[in-house]
């Protein structure tokens, strides 16, 4: 979309990165069931924070509740995938896992390997200060010099991070797996999310076709 500045110059946002939110995509009963069923299984420690734990990697077939969640998520993957690849492809959930972030816990900056779309299902209320933060990839192709001081106006072309909108239980967000993200220290109550990675059935580049299996 072209943006007009106050001086009426035309500014075009080149190659934007999509981020999609599906508000309240999972119904309350399913959200409550996932919290009750999976939160106690988050026993794997995280090296970045003593107050962050995960479940082992899960597949939808591991639980009827995950199957129900997948029936909601997979069609949305096709919607988001069409933004990335210009075509509605078949998608599968490669893996899922639950994150339990207690008071004071944080998640270090990271991205997700070996997948194309990643996402988060918010299962409990999130403190405003513990919203997911997305960052520009370090060591990218941008200028090495910075203009960063109290008088700078931060906008979409010079910011280094973006704080996602306040989520509600049942919200699902989707983003390219390469996008760096983190969770700041959580000053609120326990924050539980269901994260996932997804892959398409195949990609075709003018006859060079590669198939993926979950």
pLDDT of the residue at 157: 87
Whether residue 12 is contained in a domain is answered as no
Which structure tokens are listed for 39? 């939160």
Q: Hey, which residues does 133 pair with through a beta bridge?
A: 163, 182
Instruction: List the domain range (segments joined by +) for residue 107.
Output: 17-139+156-201
pLDDT of the residue at 137: 82
Which structure tokens are listed for 192? 């539980």
C-alpha gyration radius of the chain: 19
Whether residue 148 is contained in a domain is answered as no
Dihedral sign (CA 183, 185, 188, 189): positive
Whether residue 180 is contained in a domain is answered as yes
DSSP 124: S
Q: Within 10 A of 140 (CB to CB), how many other CB atoms are there?
A: 8
Whether residue 196 is contained in a domain is answered as yes
Whether residue 32 is contained in a domain is answered as yes
- Ramachandran area for residue 15 (φ above 0: left; ψ -120 to 50: alpha; else beta): left
Whether residue 208 is contained in a domain is answered as no
Q: Within 10 A of 184 (CB to CB), how many other CB atoms are there?
A: 15
170: CATH: 2.60.120.620
Count of domains in the chain? 1
Decide if 79 contacts 177 (C-beta within 8 A).
no
pTM confidence score = 0.92
Decide if 135 contacts 160 (C-beta within 8 A).
yes
Q: What does each of the 214 residues of the chain score in pLDDT, given as a tens digit?
A: 555 556 678 889 899 999 999 999 999 999 999 999 998 898 999 988 999 999 999 999 999 999 999 999 999 999 999 999 999 999 999 999 999 999 999 999 999 999 999 999 999 999 999 999 999 887 766 667 788 899 999 998 888 899 999 999 999 999 999 999 999 999 999 999 999 999 999 999 999 999 998 6
Whether residue 144 is contained in a domain is answered as no
Whether residue 7 is contained in a domain is answered as no
pLDDT of the residue at 127: 98
pLDDT of the residue at 141: 64
Q: Which residue has the tokens 């990609």?
A: 203
């Amino acid at each position: 979309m072209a943006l007009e500045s106050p001086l009426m110059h035309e500014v075009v946002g080149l190659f934007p990165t999509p981020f999609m939110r599906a508000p309240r995509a999972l119904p309350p009963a399913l959200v409550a069931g996932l919290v009750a069923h999976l939160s106690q299984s988050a026993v794997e420690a995280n090296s970045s924070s003593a107050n962050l734990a995960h479940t082992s990697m899960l597949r939808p077939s591991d639980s009827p509740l995950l199957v129900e969640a997948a029936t909601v998520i997979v069609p949305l993957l096709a919607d988001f995938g069409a933004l990335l690849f210009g075509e509605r492809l078949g998608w599968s959930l490669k893996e899922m896992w639950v994150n339990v972030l207690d008071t004071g816990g944080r998640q270090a900056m990271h991205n997700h390997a070996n997948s194309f779309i990643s996402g988060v299902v918010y299962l409990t209320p999130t403190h405003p200060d513990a919203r997911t933060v997305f960052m520009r990839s370090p060591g990218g192709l941008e200028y090495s010099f910075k203009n960063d001081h109290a008088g700078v106006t931060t906008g979409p072309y010079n910011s280094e991070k973006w704080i996602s909108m306040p989520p509600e239980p049942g919200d699902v967000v989707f983003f390219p797996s390469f996008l760096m993200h983190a969770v700041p220290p959580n000053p609120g109550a326990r924050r539980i999310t269901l994260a996932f990675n997804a892959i398409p059935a195949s990609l075709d580049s003018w006859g060079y076709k590669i198939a993926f299996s979950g």
